[in-house]
Amino acid sequence: MRDVAIVGAGMIPFGRRDEDTLMDMLAFASLKAMDDAGLGDKSVDAVYVGNMGGGMLQHQSAIASSLVDRLSLLPAAAETVENGPASGGSAVKNGLLAIASGYYDYVLVVGGEKMREVTGWRATDFVASMTHPQTEYPYGITLPGMAGMFTRLYMQKYGVTREHLLAVSLKNQEMGALNPYAHVEMTLDRGGIFDSPHAIVNNPVSADPLHLYDLCPVSDGAAALILCPLEVAKKMSRPPILIAGFGQATDTHTLQERDDPTDLKAVTLATQQAFERAKLKPSDIHVAELHDAFTILEIAESEHVGFFKKGEGGKAAAAGKTRLGGQIPINVSGGLKARGHPVGATGVAQMVDIVWQLRHELSKNRQVKNAQNGLTVNFGGFGNNVLAFVLKRVDQ
């Protein structure tokens, strides 16, 4: 097995991109990653596209083949990877395995989604299509609904409070406001969304006990990476970013079948695998991008990946330990909460942000000083399919 490195990273600003098709967005992000890698005349051997909703929302299939043609990358192998909101992470995994195995040398991985083409409730319904078709979906469950129930249980079991959720929301919005790629470049004010009696309108209940600003927005966007063998990457001008470890685990489809619905086993297992393969531990990580589709998930995942003990994640967030400059900066990009969550793009976008962090390329107000190791967690379903990646800067 060969070591695999990331040598190119690109992203387009997330948000509402009425003027771009899904294919436009995938192409723009791909070109940025290819330019970033300095591929020049070199082509890629294979293209993996992470996308969840092209078939449902754009009535488009065979997206990867179309992208290869659009980018004049013929005859590169092309494959679309659909794995719910973990589609992006799964696409990266496929690229990683393809190079590690020795079958391919250069792989383009791109994740993208165009969700704002439909109304909010149709987008919510589209995402809910990942729930169980007989025991969940027919009863009207949505992902925010699941997250609300999960939050209530987590509050009861571990003492998480709305103050803790608020800390995550304020932090991620603050960081998103500094990120030119973020969907929501707006800081929030504690008074405006929590303390003031006017908060009842500004920040209404969405899925009790979660409020509007506990949820990520519905976004359009795309992000891309270029992967190649580490030995090849070492000859390039910039420090390669090694994919030091990855892990993936699956949990029951329905929440009610789990022994303890607050236990995100797939997160724990996937990150344990990633750490073991990377020969690192949670305390070695300098920056992390966790899948905060809902504020509770950042708190719960920060515990399940091993940054904090169970029941301590909320308190750590409220104490500022997950802020830039804190014990472990989490979602310095703004996370899904502010950068946005075009579902198929997210797993790739998380890695693009970590690559930029490990290359020390970000502006001072977003850069984690001297970051060497990073972690991403891409969370599919309600924790039933999770991918974790440990990235490591390799100085030449």
Partner 1 sequence: MPVDMELEAVLRPLQYAMPPYPSKTITLANGKVMVVRQAARADVPAILKSVHPCLFIERDYYDIVSARLYGELLAWYRYRVKSEYCLLGQVDGYLVGIVNGRMENEQVGMSYHTLAIDRGLRIGSHLFAAKMEYHMDYLGQESVLIVAESPIGFRRWMIEYPLEKTNIPHELGGGDSYRLTREIYLAAKPRLVVGDRPVPQALLDEAVAEIKFADDDTIRERIAGLKGR
Q: Is 335 in the site for partner 1 (CB under 8 A)?
A: no
Of 96 and 222, which CB lies nearer to partner 1 in the complex structure?
222
Phi/psi at 289 (nearest 5 deg)?
A: -115, 110
**Contact with partner 1 (CB under 8 A): which of 70, 140, 200, 309?**
200
Q: Is 140 in the site for partner 1 (CB under 8 A)?
A: no
Residue 79 and residue 102: Cα distance in Å, rounded?
18
Q: Is 208 in the site for partner 1 (CB under 8 A)?
A: no
Residue with tokens 């060497």: 372
Binding mask 92-131 for partner 1 (x = CB under 8 A): ------------------------x--xx-----------
**Contact with partner 1 (CB under 8 A): which of 8, 15, 88, 89?**
15
Burial of 61 (0-12, 13-18, 19+ CB in 10 A): exposed
Closest separation in Å from C-beta 292 to partner 1:
18
Residue 90 and residue 96: Cα distance in Å, rounded?
10
Closest separation in Å from C-beta 84 to partner 1:
25
Q: Is 202 in the site for partner 1 (CB under 8 A)?
A: yes
Taking only Cα atoms into account, the Rg of the chain, rounded to an integer number of angstroms, comes to 19
Characterize the bridge pairing of strands 241-250 and 385-393: antiparallel
Closest separation in Å from C-beta 187 to partner 1:
6
Kindly list the distances between the CA atom of residue 304 and the CA atoms of 216, 317, 320, 383, in Å, as whole numbers in the listed order. Answer: 21, 15, 19, 11
Q: Is 334 in the site for partner 1 (CB under 8 A)?
A: no
Of 119 and 396, which CB lies nearer to partner 1 in the complex structure?
119
Q: Which pair of tokens denotes residue 299?
A: 């708190």
Nearest to 169 by CA among 215, 236, 229, 101: 215
Closest separation in Å from C-beta 186 to partner 1:
6
Characterize the bridge pairing of strands 46-50 and 107-114: parallel
Q: Which pair of tokens denotes residue 154?
A: 């987590």
Nearest to 342 by CA among 2, 22, 24, 6: 22
Residue 319 and residue 321: Cα distance in Å, rounded?
6
Q: Is 16 in the site for partner 1 (CB under 8 A)?
A: yes
Upper half-sphere CA count for residue 58 (Cβ side, 13 Å): 19
**Contact with partner 1 (CB under 8 A): which of 213, 246, 356, 379?**
213
Q: Is 341 in the site for partner 1 (CB under 8 A)?
A: no
The answer to whether residues 83 and 90 touch, using CB atoms and an 8 Å cutoff, is yes
Closest separation in Å from C-beta 162 to partner 1:
16
Q: Which pair of tokens denotes residue 334?
A: 């703004």
The answer to whether residues 62 and 122 touch, using CB atoms and an 8 Å cutoff, is no
Of 203 and 273, which CB lies nearer to partner 1 in the complex structure?
203
Of 1 and 201, which CB lies nearer to partner 1 in the complex structure?
201
Binding mask 158-197 for partner 1 (x = CB under 8 A): -------------------------xxxxxxxxxxx--xx
Binding mask 17-46 for partner 1 (x = CB under 8 A): xxx---------------------------
**Contact with partner 1 (CB under 8 A): which of 102, 133, 204, 320?**
204
Contacts of 257 (CB under 8 A, 6+ apart): none
Q: Is 339 in the site for partner 1 (CB under 8 A)?
A: no
Residue with tokens 């406001």: 177
DSSP-derived secondary structure letter, 129: T
Closest separation in Å from C-beta 267 to partner 1:
30
Closest separation in Å from C-beta 196 to partner 1:
4
Segment lying near partner 1 (by CB under 8 A), choices 16-24, 68-76, 258-266, 267-275: 16-24
Residues that bind partner 1 (CB under 8 A): 13, 15-19, 116, 119-120, 183-193, 196-204, 213
